[in-house]
Structure 1
Amino acid sequence: MGLTRNFLVSTATVLLALALAANACSPSDRAALLDFKAALNEPYLGIFNTWSGTDCCTNWYGVSCDPETKRVADIVLRGESEDPIFEKAGRSGYMTGSISPSICQLDRLTTLVVADWKDISGEIPACITSLPNLRILDLIGNKISGQIPADIGKLSRLTVLNLADNQISGSLPSSIVNLNSLMHLELSNNKLSGEIPSDIGKLSMMSRALLSRNQLTGPIPSSLASIYRLADLDLSMNQITGSIPDQFGSMPVLSTLNLDSNQLSGEIPTSLLANSGLNILNLSRNALEGNLPDVFGPKTYFTTIDLSYNNLRGSIPKSLSSAKYVGHLDLSHNHLCGPIPDGSPFDHLEASSFANNDCLCGMPLRTC
């Protein structure tokens, strides 16, 4: 009887151990995570205190696994969060250190978010491009430097690439145009230089391209206009030259276009101001010239039109009065002349919208 009982107990122990092993993450994934953790220092919230024990798929803060394979699928660590840990501490996150190349050993990873920790530095591990399943790479709001990995285009499933608010330098790698699943590209507020690849229009799935506050040069690639889904394009605060592509006026989904604070020249494409889908247009602080096209009508709906600080001449188009809606209009610091039209939207605009032109007159300026 004793032998039978001992056999049953030992069998149950083995079965329990096997069950626990089946539900635990793989030892290689756990080792990679601990190496990743060792390269970082999070002194205030203690989120890495949860990274203990053998099962990294359960209760490890920010880590989740594929329920079938038990392989690590997502790492989501946000320094600005509504998580109770943050609310209880009454602060946003702060972390130093760097992103360890050991992250590349997690070969089933689909999501890597290490965002808004303020002081994570070092470079993006070049081996990150070897993760075949990666769909989201979000490292916004740190102090990451170095260049975007040259073969970033190998990440064929990547839908979100967000490296904004870092210190990344160098040019946009030519392979970036091979990210044929990419929907959101956010690289604003870095130190990127060089030209935007001329064939960036190959990113046919892209809906947002935010590249402001860098040191980009060269022309605006006209191929951008071939991206049917592109709704939000921000190239502001760079050193971009040349003219605005005429094709932008026929983009069917484009609703926000920010090209301000560059070195653009030439005339504003007539089709751009006639595009009834465009909602926010900022072309200020460039060297644009010529007359304002008289192409507005009942379908015109602008939350914002900012054309200030250019070299525009002629009069303000009377057709602006027939627009369905114009919220904010800024035509200041140009060489416009003649009477300001009557009626909406001019009856709710302040004098600052028309200041520093050659000879504009009428409400809200001096009478003609």
Structure 2
Amino acid sequence: MHATSSPLLVLLPVICTTLFLTGSAIQLHRPDGRRCIPAERDALLSFKKGITYDLTNRLSSWGHSQDCCQWRGVSCSNETGHVLKLHLRNQNPDPNTRSGCGNNGNGLFGQISPSLLSLKQLEHMDLSMNCFTAHIPLFLGSMKKLRYLNLSGILFSGEVPPQLGNLSNLQYLDLGTEIGKSGIYSKDITWLKNLPVLQYLSMRNIDLSQISDWPHVLNSIPSLKVIDLSYCSLVSANQTISYTNLTKLEKLDLSDNSFDHEIASCWFWKVTNLKYLYLGDNNLTGPFYDALENMSSLQVLHVILSQQQPIDERKL
């Protein structure tokens, strides 16, 4: 009797000890059932403090629970609890200004807090169509895990920081504005060359009038699929490019610039894989039809030639 019961007496404390240690490990990892990282929760709350006006209470859930991963606009990794996505786009901008700053807008007003630097694993950040003031923050260039950055529709002023070139994992970058001439400009976009996997680029309405080598910069990023440089005050598109690296480019929007030369001399005719090409409201002159011979993938061409019959959304 004693011989058969002894192993059970020995095993029981071992099993209990194992369960206790395992339970303790779980308890240490999640002391109160939270899923998010405490430091990242604090960073988000610091960001909220920088918001001075939130008409639609988009951030009302922030701070009501310990788990910041349950807050509106915040997505976390199920495995690590790190914040991976911050999606705070204003879905209902002012229809008159097409931004978050009008009287009828629902944008967040305030500052973009540098506390976001504590979101070490953040990959996706969309703050578009809101009303953040001042310049594009320099610290964004230190958020090197970012793959997606959308700051469109924000009425920034000043120069686009070249520090954005540190975001070597970036695949999507939208800095464009939708209203008039914004107060933002760039004298040098060579920092774009440091974004080797960039697929989508929009700098719509950013003043690039002092930049002449922009086609060569773009040509150094073979991953690009979409380029929007409309309303950028570009003065010419007749630069000479011996060969093109833009073999994946499908859409190019250069409308509403200040081109004043023959359309046939434009560099982009070498990008024969283009599907959508927008050139409206420039001062381009014809003829140009010979340049289309190799554009077998082109589906839509929007162009108005000076002193000639307008061609609008020409289906090819």
**TM-score bracket relative to the smaller structure:** 0.7 to 0.9
- Can you give the 5+ residue segments of structure 2 that lack an aligned partner in the other structure? 1-21, 93-103
The 1:242/1:35 distance shift into structure 2, 3 A limit, reads: farther
Q: Secondary structure at the match of 1:165?
A: coil
Compute the displacement of 1:15 (Å).
Answer: 6.2
Give the structure 1 partner of residue 132 of structure 2: 120
CA offsets 1:83-120 (integer angstroms, 9 cap, x no match):
xxxxxxxx973221122222223221101101223x32
Determine the C-alpha separation between the residues in 2 that align with 1:71 and 1:55.
11
From 125, 133, 147, give the equivalent of 1:135. 147
Match of 1:260 among 280, 289, 294: 280
1:185 maps to 201
**Aligned with 2:59 (options 41, 48, 59):** 48
Structure 1 pair 264–104 and aligned structure 2 pair: CA distance change class (3 A) = farther
Contact 1:280 1:303 (8 Å CA) reproduced: no
Cα offset for 1:192?
3.8
Contact 1:194 1:218 in 2 (8 A): no
Is residue 125 of structure 2 the alignment partner of residue 105 of structure 1? Answer: no
Q: Which of 170, 195, 199 is the aligned partner of 1:158?
A: 170
1:203 maps to: 221
Verify: 1:77 aligned to 2:82, yes or no: no
> Is the partner of 1:73 in helix, strand or coil?
strand
Report if aligned partners of 1:246, 1:272 keep a CA contact under 8 Å in 2.
no
Percent identity, please: 28
**Structure 2 partner of 1:216:** 234
Instruction: Work out which structure has the larger RCO, using CA pairs closer than 8 Å and 6 or more positions apart in sequence.
Output: 2
Contact 1:152 1:173 (C-alpha < 8 Å) held by counterparts: no
Instruction: Give secondary structure in 1 for the equivalent of 2:222.
Output: coil
Q: Is the 8 A contact 2:50 2:111 kept in 1?
A: yes
What secondary structure is seen at the aligned counterpart in 2 of 1:191? coil
Q: Structure 1, residues 136-188: CA drift from partner, whole Å, max 9, x if none?
A: 00011221222221132221110110112163223352111221111111121
1:240 aligns with 259
- Give the letter aligned to residue 256 of structure 1: Y
* 2-structure distance, mates of 1:273, 1:194: 32
Matched, 1:170 2:182: no
Aligned residue type for 1:76: H
Amino acid paired to 1:282: H
Q: Structure 2 vs 1, CA of residues 287 and 219 (structure 1 numbering), >3 Å: closer, same or farther?
A: farther
Alignment gaps of 5+ in structure 1:
1-10, 82-90, 289-301, 306-324, 327-368
Pick closer, same or farther for the CA change 1:193–1:248 going to 2, 3 Å: closer
Instruction: Give the direction of change, closer, same or farther, for the CA distance of 1:271–1:24 in structure 2 (3 Å limit).
Output: same
Contact 1:74 1:111 (8 Å CA) reproduced: yes
Code of the residue aligned with 1:208 in structure 2: it is V
RMSD: 3.3
Partner of 1:103, secondary structure, is helix
User: 2:164 and 2:307 mapped to 1: Cα distance?
Assistant: 35
- Tell me which protein shows more strand as a share of its residues: 1
